[in-house]
Amino acid sequence: MNWPVEPSRPPELPGYAHVYSGKVRELYAPIDQRTGQASQDVLLLVATDRISAYDFILGSEIPDKGKVLTQLSLWWFDQLADIIPNHVISTQVPEAVTGRGVLVRRLDMVPVECIGRAYLTGSGLAEYRQASSVCGVPLPAGLTDGSLLPTPIFTPSTKAPIGEHDQPMTFAQVEAQIGMPIATRVRDLTIAILARGNEIAADRGILLADTKVEFGLDASRPDAEGNPAIVLADEVLTPDSSRFWPAATWAPGRAQDSYDKQFVRDWLTSPASGWDRSSGEAPPALPDDIIEATRLKYIEAFESLTGRTFA
Ligand code: Q0Z
């Protein structure tokens, strides 16, 4: 991942310590007013309006993107509540991050990227073409870019440091890293979340090709056997963590249209942008009409999926 031309600075939030900048999100910890210490139990997750394309963080932001994705993620947490508890504590956050900030329980994060795939594309497709399998899961011959998989598959990967690419893992490697009981649980949960996501999206003419989910352990919430509860963390089923495709134009055998970023990709790779993807140079700023069209796509995705109006 390449860094932005001009990284937008995380806002200073009185009463919060900034702890980490992700590619498109910021992490804070509330400061205890008595001790002056950053909380060990609670985090504030803030989704910015930054956007990535072709492995770059663009210099342009998409107004409201962080709010739309946060509201979508919160809606999905509710849709998934019968499958798994989540890390959300409250949406009452400083005014500067209203709608885009969420207070969450600090968990011991499971150190594996949990990816579920219903359709074949991206790094899964590349691995299939090399090995006829993905993450050790054998697949039938004849699959192509965008193919519906015979059954949804769990394709975990390493959590690489920012700037490096995640590496595929086999299920045996996941077991070795986190133990069989948790490995089995996160695999089954990932597939269940993907399946629920696709059931709901299908009614709205949207396909959910794949999704990345993050789990954490909450020692303060033991399960029936006294083990720490497995909790759904981070963001869930947003266009930044998942590939959404319009069902109407789905056609295996070529790259699928992206629900959210298609205008950005088309403009960046058009002569109008003057950008050469293979140059290694940072892409140029987006024109205002591409920014606005993309903003409307995020809002459309939110409104189609949830049936709610984005206020
Ligand atoms: C999430 C990330 C960033 C947003 C750590 N509930 C949790 N407990 C402990 N850690 C995390 C969470 Cl969500 C956690 N991330 C990824 C980075 C902004 C999310 F800069 N990292």
305 lines ligand 1 (CB under 6 A): no
Amino acid making up residue 213: V
Place of tokens 């947490």: 77
- What is the per-residue pLDDT for 163? 79
Amino acid making up residue 168: P
How far, in Å, is the centroid of ligand 1 from the Cα of 255? Answer: 31
Environment class of residue 44 by beta-carbon count within 10 Å: exposed (0-12), middle (13-18) or buried (19+)?
Answer: buried
- What is the per-residue pLDDT for 2? 56
Residue 195 to residues 80, 137, 215, 306: CA-CA distances in angstroms? 11, 18, 17, 17
- What is the per-residue pLDDT for 6? 53
Which two three-digit tokens encode residue 271?
Answer: 């002569």
Amino acid making up residue 42: V
208 touches 118 (CB < 8 A): yes
Q: At what angle do helices 171-178 and 180-202 cross, to 10 degrees?
A: 120
87 lines ligand 1 (CB under 6 A): yes
Atom number in ligand 1 closest to CA 23 = 20
23 lines ligand 1 (CB under 6 A): no
109 lines ligand 1 (CB under 6 A): yes
DSSP, residue by residue, the chain: -BPPSSPPPPPP-TTEEEEEE-SSEEEEEEBPTTT-PBPSSEEEEEE-SEEEETTEEEEEE-TTHHHHHHHHHHHHHHHTTTT--B-EEE----GGGTTTEEEEE--EE-SEEEEEEEE--HHHHHHHHHHSEETTEE--TT--TTPEEEEEEE--EE-PPTTS---B--HHHHHHHH-HHHHHHHHHHHHHHHHHHHHHHHTTTEEEEEEEEEEEEEEEEE-TTSPEEEEEES--S-TTTEEEEEGGG--TTSPPPPTTTHHHHHHHTSGGG---GGG-PPPPPPPHHHHHHHHHHHHHHHHHHH-----
Q: Which residues contact 90 (CB under 8 A, 6 or more apart)?
A: 102, 103
How far, in Å, is the centroid of ligand 1 from the Cα of 154? Answer: 22
C-alpha torsion sign, points 291, 302, 233, 195: negative
46 lines ligand 1 (CB under 6 A): no
- What is the per-residue pLDDT for 135? 95
47 lines ligand 1 (CB under 6 A): no
How far, in Å, is the centroid of ligand 1 from the Cα of 115? Answer: 17
58 touches 273 (CB < 8 A): no
301 lines ligand 1 (CB under 6 A): no
Q: Residue with the nearest Cα to atom 20 of ligand 1? A: 22
106 lines ligand 1 (CB under 6 A): yes
216 lines ligand 1 (CB under 6 A): yes
- What is the per-residue pLDDT for 198? 98
pLDDT tens for the 311 residues of the chain, in order? 555 555 567 889 999 999 999 999 999 999 999 999 999 999 999 999 999 999 999 999 999 999 999 999 999 999 999 999 999 999 999 999 999 999 999 999 999 999 999 999 999 999 999 999 999 999 999 999 999 999 999 999 999 887 788 899 999 999 999 999 999 999 999 999 999 999 999 999 999 999 999 999 999 999 889 999 999 999 999 999 999 999 999 999 999 999 999 999 999 999 999 999 999 999 999 999 999 999 999 999 999 999 999 98
How far, in Å, is the centroid of ligand 1 from the Cα of 9? Answer: 18
- What is the per-residue pLDDT for 311? 86
Amino acid making up residue 206: I
Which two three-digit tokens encode residue 298?
Answer: 């995020």
How far, in Å, is the centroid of ligand 1 from the Cα of 42? Answer: 11
- Residue among 39, 43, 49, 100 to mutate when testing ligand 1 (max atoms within 8 A of CB): 43
| Distance, CA of 75 to CA of 243 (rounded, Å) | 17
Which two three-digit tokens encode residue 242?
Answer: 């998942």
How far, in Å, is the centroid of ligand 1 from the Cα of 48? Answer: 14
217 lines ligand 1 (CB under 6 A): no
| Distance, CA of 56 to CA of 268 (rounded, Å) | 11
- What is the per-residue pLDDT for 256? 97
